């Protein structure tokens, strides 16, 4: 039987739950990214958690991929967020208490924001949003991102600038000034969109969606949850980068996120 459907789960490995819903479409490349750096990823459809054929108990990492869950209907990630709140709330709380880590990319980030898990780790209470891009439409481009000092417990301090793909229509990180201040004060900002000089920017298209304070990715106060709009999983092989033929790439820029997550689990199991 194909391992992509029924995988082997042994707690000796770093088990990654790649959660799917109707419309998830960046799951294959996310699977590949975890696998390439020593993880043991499994595809799990949200219905399998609902029917209890699969359980978060068996996993160290919960990863929510990009895509258009339920068609982005009403608002991106909304329908999936409500689904998770409605039946998986306790299991997710337990998963966090057991030391599990959660990552949401693009649509996965939109879900984490709309569940309230990001930025303040309060499931069921939404504090920020990812609103429609200021350009008014979907954006598919490569942008520069800078990681900064932050609370995320599994990302090692690498504050380099990297190129990442963004592909979304609703990615504008937005909230009240009080919430934004709290996010900043508590070091919850992990990534910002930056210009050529590495300064955070509100300029389009370097900041592709008009995010306040150029915020591209955040963690929660526990540091166990990471969400970001850009796609690290789409730059883990050099040939995935548009200019691999003209620029020397010693290490694809998305790699460190997967390496750090897997190493963290290995060190803290």
Partner 1 sequence: MIHTIRVKTIIGRDLVGEGILHDIHHTLGQKGVTQVESAKVYRLEGISEKDAKVLAEKVFCESIYQKYTLNAPILGSQLVFEIAYKPGVMNPEVGSILKTAEDLGIKLIAADSSHEYGFYGPSTGSTTLSTSSLRVEIEEIAKKLHLLNEMVEHFVTEEPKTLLIKGTPGKTNVIRLRRMTDSDLLELSQDQLFLNLEEMKTIQNYFQKIKRDPTDLELETLAQTWSEHCAHKTFKAKIILDGKEKEPLFTRLKKEALKYNKNIVSAFIDNAGVMDFYEGWAINGKAETHNAPSAIEPYGGAMTGSGGVFRDVVATGQGAKALVSTDIFCLAPPDMDKSKLPPGTLPPDYMLKRVVYAVRDYGNRVGIPTNNGSFHFHEDFRAKPIVLVGAYGILPKAKAKKGKPRVGDVALVIGGRTGRDGIHGATFSSGEMTERTISVNAQAVQIGNAIEEKRIFDVILEARDKDLIRVVQDLGAGGFSSAIGETGAEIGVKVHLEKAPLKYQGLAPWEIFLSESQERMLIILTKKNLRKFLEICKKYNVEAKELAEYDGSKRLKVYFGREKVGDLEMKFLHSGLPQRVMKAFRLPSVAQGLRQNQQIKTPSTEKEWIKFLEETLSGGDSNSKEPILRMYDHTVQGTNVLPPFAGVGLDGPQDAAIIKPILEKPYGLVVSHGLNPKLTKEDPYWGTIWSATEAISNYVAVGGDFKNASLINNYIWPNPSEEWLGKLDASVTAVCDFMKTLKIPVISGKDSLSATYRGSSGVIIHSPPTVCISVFGKIPDVKKTVSSDFKKVGSTIVLVGKQDLKVYLKVLPKVLEKMHKAIISGKVLASHDVSEGGLITAIFDMCVGGNNGVNIKANAEELLLETAGCFIVEVENETIAKKLFNGVQFKILGKTIKEEKLVVDKLFSADIDRLQKAWTKPMKEIFP
Question: What residues are labeled active site?
Answer: 106, 231, 233
Residue 239 binds to partner 1 (criterion: CB under 8 A): yes
Q: Please, what is the minimum distance in Å from the beta carbon of residue 4 to partner 1?
A: 8
Q: Between residues 153 and 238, which has the closer beta carbon with respect to partner 1? A: 238
The rounded distance, in Å, linking the Cα atoms of 224 and 160 is 21
- Least distance from partner 1 to the Cβ atom of residue 92, Å: 15
What mask of x and - would describe binding to partner 1 in positions 61 to 100, judged by CB under 8 A? -----xxx-xxxxxx--xx--xx--xx-------------
* CB proximity list for 25: less than 8 A, separation 6 or greater: 65, 66, 67, 68
Alpha carbon distance 23, 72 (integer Å):
9
- Judged by CB under 8 A, the chain residues 36 through 65 that form the site for partner 1 are 36, 45, 47-48
With binding defined as CB under 8 A, does residue 25 bind partner 1?
yes
Q: Tell me: does residue 201 bind partner 1 (CB under 8 A).
A: no
Residue 234 touches partner 1, criterion: CB under 8 A: yes
Of 243, 248, 250, 267, which one interacts with partner 1 (CB under 8 A)? 243
- Using CB under 8 A as the binding rule, whether residue 132 contacts partner 1 is answered as yes
260 binds partner 1 (CB under 8 A): no
**How many Cα atoms within 13 Å fall on the side-chain side of residue 6?**
3
Q: Distance between CA atoms of 116 and 127, rounded to whole angstroms? A: 6
Q: Which is nearer to partner 1, 141 or 158 (CB)?
A: 141
d(CA 112, CA 93): 13
49-83 b/e (C-beta count within 10 Å ≥ 16 → b): beeeebebeebbbbbbbbbbbbebeeebbbbbbbb
CB of 183 to partner 1, least distance (A): 13
Contact between residue 145 and residue 191 where contact means Cβ atoms under 8 Å apart: yes
Task: Check binding of 175 to partner 1 (CB under 8 A).
Answer: yes
Sheet of strand 61-64: strand arrangement: 40-45, 15-20, 61-64, 101-105, 225-228, 215-219, 189-193, 139-147, 161-168
Among 13, 144, 146, 231, binds partner 1 (CB under 8 A): 231
Strand partners, 145: 162, 193
Please name which of 160, 226, 227, 151 lies closest in space to residue 185, comparing C-alpha atoms: 151
Task: Kindly tell me which of 169 and 217 has the beta carbon lying closer to partner 1.
Answer: 169
Contact set with partner 1 (CB under 8 A)? 1-2, 4-5, 20, 22-26, 28-29, 32, 36, 45, 47-48, 66-68, 70-75, 78-79, 82-83, 86-87, 126-129, 131-132, 134, 136-142, 165, 167, 174-176, 231, 233-234, 237, 239-240, 242-243, 245-246
């Amino acid at each position: 039987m194909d391992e992509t459907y029924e995988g082997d789960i042994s707690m000796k490995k770093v088990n990654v739950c790649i959660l799917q819903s109707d419309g998830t479409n960046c799951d294959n490349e996310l699977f590949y990214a975890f696998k390439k750096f020593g993880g043991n990823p499994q595809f799990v459809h949200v219905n399998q958690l609902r029917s209890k054929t699969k359980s978060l108990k068996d996993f160290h990492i919960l990863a929510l991929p990009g895509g258009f869950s339920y068609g982005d209907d009403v608002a991106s990630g909304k329908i999936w967020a409500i689904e998770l709140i409605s039946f998986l709330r306790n299991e997710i709380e337990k998963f966090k208490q057991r030391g599990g880590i959660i990552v949401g990319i693009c649509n996965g980030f939109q879900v984490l924001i709309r569940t309230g898990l990001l930025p303040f780790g309060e499931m069921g209470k939404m504090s920020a949003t990812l609103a429609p891009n200021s350009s008014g439409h979907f954006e598919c481009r490569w942008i520069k991102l800078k990681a900064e000092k932050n609370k995320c417990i599994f990302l090692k301090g690498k504050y380099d600038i990297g190129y990442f793909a963004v592909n979304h229509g609703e990615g504008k990180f937005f909230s009240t000034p009080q919430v934004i201040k709290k996010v900043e004060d508590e070091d919850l900002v992990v990534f910002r969109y930056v210009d050529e000089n590495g300064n955070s920017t509100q300029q389009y298209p370097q900041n592709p969606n008009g995010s306040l304070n150029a915020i591209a990715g955040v963690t929660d106060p526990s540091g166990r949850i990471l969400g970001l709009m850009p796609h690290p999983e789409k730059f883990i092989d050099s040939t995935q980068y548009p200019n691999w033929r003209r620029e020397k790439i010693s290490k694809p820029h998305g790699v460190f996120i997967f390496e750090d997550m897997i190493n963290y689990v290995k060190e803290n199991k």
